[in-house]
Amino acid sequence: MLKGLVINTQKNIYNVKTEIGVLRCTLRGKLLKNRQDITSFIVVGDEVIVEKLQNDIGIILEICERKTKFCREVTEGNKNLEHIIASNIEQVIIVCSVKNPIYHLRAIDRFIVSAISGGIKPIVCFNKIDLINQSDLESDINYFKKRGFDVILTSVLLKESISELKEVLKNKISVFSGSSGVGKSSLINSIKEENIAKTNEVGDSRKKGKHTTTSSLFYDLPFGGMVLDTPGLRGFRVVDKEDEVKNSFQDIQDLSQMCKFNDCSHTVEPKCAVRDALDNGEIDEKIYKNYIRLMKSLK
């Protein structure tokens, strides 16, 4: 028996990286019988126990406990369910393009909430910065930095901050996530200095991105570590957990402990420590407004 890492899934086949190479695996009968949804039962990043059968063919016997998970909310029928995108990830590089297609702060916040909820470090990456004046980004960069999140500015065309991004990824298991067309695959190609991930142009219609990556796939990095390229995610929804939203706005969460009411919404209640801090300039108004909007969107 061997321990391996699921690096790609295609329908009923799971590519598992082991010490003897990559094995194309199916599920053991017991696992197959107990599965609820084969497309999400085993996900990229899962550590599994496999048995080699012949050549590069194997069978998955056991799934190891997940240390972290990166999730989104999906709707099946009348139910909203948690869908795991990847597991055992250390950090999520949230790639957003400054133009074509343009980013939205609340969309980035949803990715941050999902990362924190799953025990993963979020890093915000503003890509395609060659398309705008960097001073135009200052307010939004500070929006994330004031909340304690790392921010990287990149441009594949100008090779901007690619070396810095390599240092961030070095010896880590990371996932690149974001909307379609933001340049995730192009960044991975630039990091590895070879064209391994498929890329495409942004569609002309409403400047929305095209889906280039159709399934999640891990790549080994020459300087140590692994990076996962994921399909573009439009309309990313977080699992309905208010506590995780609060944890992604740590300053507001800390202040809320001093509010008069335990269930204070920080909007209309008297003796609200959060609104007092806002009035005193101790909290950035943009941070406050986006926190309120994100909380309301969950309800």
Domains of the chain: 2-63 (2.40.50.140), 85-229 (3.40.50.300), 249-298 (1.10.40.50)
Asked whether the predicted pLDDT for residue 201 surpasses 70, the reply is: no
| Residue 155 per-residue DSSP state | B
Residues 47-75: what's their mean pLDDT?
A: 91
Q: If pLDDT is split at 50, 70 and 90, which confidence band does 245 have?
A: confident
- Among 2-6, 162-166, 286-290, 293-297, which is the least confidently predicted range? 293-297
Q: Is the pLDDT of residue 298 over 80?
A: no
pLDDT band (50, 70, 90) for residue 170: very high
Distances in Å between the Cα of 208 and the Cα atoms of 95, 124, 232, 237 are 15, 20, 11, 18
Lowest mean pLDDT among 23-32, 93-102, 233-242, 262-271: 233-242
Question: What's the pLDDT score for residue 280?
Answer: 94
Of all residues in the chain, what percent carry a pLDDT higher than 90?
Answer: 56
Lowest mean pLDDT among 75-89, 200-214, 245-259: 200-214
Measured in degrees and rounded to the nearest 5, phi and psi for residue 261 equal: -105, 135
Structure tokens at 239: 């699992």
For residue 162, give every residue at least 6 positions away whose Cβ sits within 8 Å of its Cβ, in sequence order, or none. Answer: 154, 156, 187, 190, 191
Residue 274 structure tokens: 């959060």
Q: What is the pLDDT of residues 121-131, one digit of tens each?
A: 999 999 999 99
Q: What percent of the chain has pLDDT over 70?
A: 86
Task: Report the pLDDT value the prediction gives residue 81, as an integer from 0 to 100.
Answer: 77
The pLDDT of residue 204 is 46
**Is the confidence at residue 64, as pLDDT, over 90?**
yes
Weakest mean pLDDT among 21-25, 32-36, 91-95, 130-134: 32-36
Q: What's the pLDDT at 209? A: 44
Whether 16 and 48 have beta carbons less than 8 Å apart is answered as yes
In this prediction, residues 40-53 reach a mean pLDDT of: 89
> Which pair of structure tokens corresponds to residue 199?
């890329």
Smallest Cα–Cα separation from 133: which of 98, 161, 105?
98
Distance (Å) of CA 14 to CA 46, 152, 217: 10, 33, 11
pLDDT higher than 80, residue 8: yes
What's the whole-model pTM score? Answer: 0.86
Res 82: pLDDT = 80
Confidence band (pLDDT; 50, 70, 90) for 100? confident
Burial class for 25, CB neighbours closer than 10 Å (0-12, 13-18, 19+): buried
For helices 184-192 and 162-169, the axis angle rounded to 10 degrees is 90
